[in-house]
Amino acid sequence: MPLPLNEIKKLIKESIPDAKIEIRDLMGDNNHYSAKIQSKMFNNLNKIDQHKLVYKSLKGKMGNELHALSITTVGE
């Protein structure tokens, strides 16, 4: 079962409350997304640790309900 865009945003916001999130459905199939996430929580973290925060917020859904997510993270 694909993960709806609004559910992805909700999961990220629960872990990163100040996140500004832009998500695009790349294939129109609710399964391949591109996300740009901006947060103060990313300040002073390298890209790998920023992405780990995002993946952790998805609570194991990456690779299961969510097939593909291209992430761009930006600090404030």
Q: What is the CATH number of the domain that holds 12?
A: 3.30.300.90
Residue 63 — very low, low, confident or very high, per pLDDT cuts 50/70/90?
confident
pLDDT of residue 29: 85
Q: What is the mean pLDDT of residues 63-67?
A: 80
Q: Which two tokens stand for residue 58?
A: 């998805």
Domain ranges, residue 62: 5-74
Rounded Cα–Cα distance for residues 75 and 30 (Å): 27
Q: What is the pTM of this model?
A: 0.88
Q: Which residue has the tokens 């780990």?
A: 52
Does the pLDDT at position 1 exceed 80?
A: no
Regarding beta strands 20-25 and 32-38, do their DSSP bridges make them parallel or antiparallel, or are they unpaired?
Answer: antiparallel
- Cβ neighbours of residue 35 closer than 8 Å, sequence gap 6 or more: 8, 12, 21, 22, 23, 24, 54, 69, 70, 71, 72
Number of domains within the chain:
1
11-58: pLDDT as tens digits: 999 999 999 999 999 988 888 899 999 999 999 999 999 999 999 999
